[in-house]
Structures are given as C-alpha cells and as structure tokens.
Amino acid sequence: MSGRAELRLGTRASRLARRQTRAVAEALRSAYPGLDCVEVTIRTAGDRDRRTPLPEIGGKGVFTEALEAALLAGEIDIAVHSLKDLPVAPPPRLVIAAVCFRADPRDVLVSRDGWLLDSLPQRALVGTSSTRRIAQLRSIRPDLRLESLRGNVDTRVRQARGGRYDAICIAAAGVERLGLAETVSEYLALDRMLPAPGQGALAVQCAAANRAARDLVAVLDDASTRAAVDAERAFLAGLGGGCAAPVAAFAAPEDGNGSLRLRGLAAAVDGTRVVRVAGTGAFTAPVELGRRMAAAALTQGAGAFVG
C-alpha cells in the first residue's frame, strides 16, 4: 500500500468492544504501515437499555443494528463485532469481509468464593444473559436460581465478585480480552457447556459496495476460523433460530484429514430436554455440514425449542 489512506472503524462504546476494534486496527496497521485507522464510537440499542433481558428487546441484533446502519450510510468503512452477536441473516448490501482473532470459545464461571459449577451451594443465584446458557445450566444443576444479567463484561464480573450473585456465567473471550482471567473460577468444558455459534471470534463487516475496504480487511480473514463459524452459523440458521435462541454449536478442523467436526445443541430453556448432534464434513463445505446437523437435530425434535 502506497501513500496514506484512512479507514473508519465503527465500534460500540464498551471497553471490550473498543479493545477488540483496536486489535483489528493494530493488525491492519501492521499489514499496511501507511494506513490511518480512525475509531468511530456508535451507541446501540443494547447499550442504551442495559436492564431488559435480551430476548425481550430483540436479541443480540440490538448490539449491531446501529453499526450496520452507519455502514450503509457511509459513515464508517468497517464495523467490528463479536461474531456471536451478528444475526445469521445479515441485512442486504452488507458482508462479513473477515473473520479473525478467535479467542477461547468456552464459557466460564466467575464466582464470589471460587466455587465451581458442581460445588455451588444449593439454590445459588447465578447471573447470565443467555437462554443458551440458562438451558444448559438448568440441565446440569436444576436447583440453581438463574437471573438475567446485563451490562458490560467488567460490570458483570464486579457484580459476581462483589456479592450481587453467587456466580455468573460468561464468555471466556471477553474476560480474557479485558485482562480479567484471574477472576475465573472455572472454564466450563465443551461437553458440559457448548458455546454460542461464533463465540470468541471477531467479525469485520463492510458494505458490499465498498470494495476498497473489503480488499483491505481481507488480509485478516482466517480460513480455519471462517470455516468453523460458517458451520456453526449454518447450524443455527438451519434450525430457524436467532441469536437469542437456546442453540449452541462448536466446530473445529480435524487434524490432518481435511475435515471439520461440528457439535450442535438445542435445548428447552427449562433444561428438561437437550438435543445433541455431532458429525463431520469437508473443510471446504462447512455450510453443508451445518445444515446437515441442523436437519439431524430437527428430526430429534429440536424445532420445539427455537420457534
């Protein structure tokens, strides 16, 4: 890249969102030393209302709509999102130009007194923002009292450490990106708590017509992460669920054989029934794998949980 060009990066106002956006900006500056990255902060509906449970205000799309509108209006060139917050059916004229920087995809428990999930007292109060987590927690510990938890990651951690809750369940990626890993009581194994599709990965979104921005950020796209999250999001889409549905999925390449393994889950929010599926497919056809696993889950009755 010659000369000096400017790229406007849209971000939510939270400390985590800005840190993620700055990581993208640093990677772009490393690839293009002449690039001037300008951070543009945009408040979303999810940031303005931090009390109402997400399913009641439109699911995780409330964190992305304002950024997407700014892209379409030409106010920013790219938007940086936590991929798990992006609806699986994006608005027309927008594309995910890069999928990058997948951190630990697991969920974690942050507890007031260092409790693990199995050692939490009977009827302990646990905060979480996700129907997916609620369903899986109830299937493991039906005695727990679960309460909707909103707010920025650092605020939620303070609420757990300060005694508002006995514990909270939250994504590992956000905790680690904010340098709060020492607060984690337990990393929940994937066979106990399957993550949201795309959890831990960052997505860089652009207007489809903005070819210059798309070409710039393409250098950040990671093929393995892209294949994995494409399979996970195809699983969610195949079930007909949105970001707030009690659906989980995780995919990863299998060593050396050119295939991708996907685990998927759909559950009743009360935890009384959980449908689990798993399968492998070609690394080059992740969407087909996701759709096939969704069809398998539907044959086991998963559609009753995501309607």
Residue 279 φ/ψ, nearest 5 degrees? -170, 170
Query: Distances in Å between the alpha carbon of 254 and those of 25, 93, 100, 259, 294?
Result: 31, 34, 19, 6, 20
* Active site members: 85
Amino acid identity for residue 286 in this structure = P
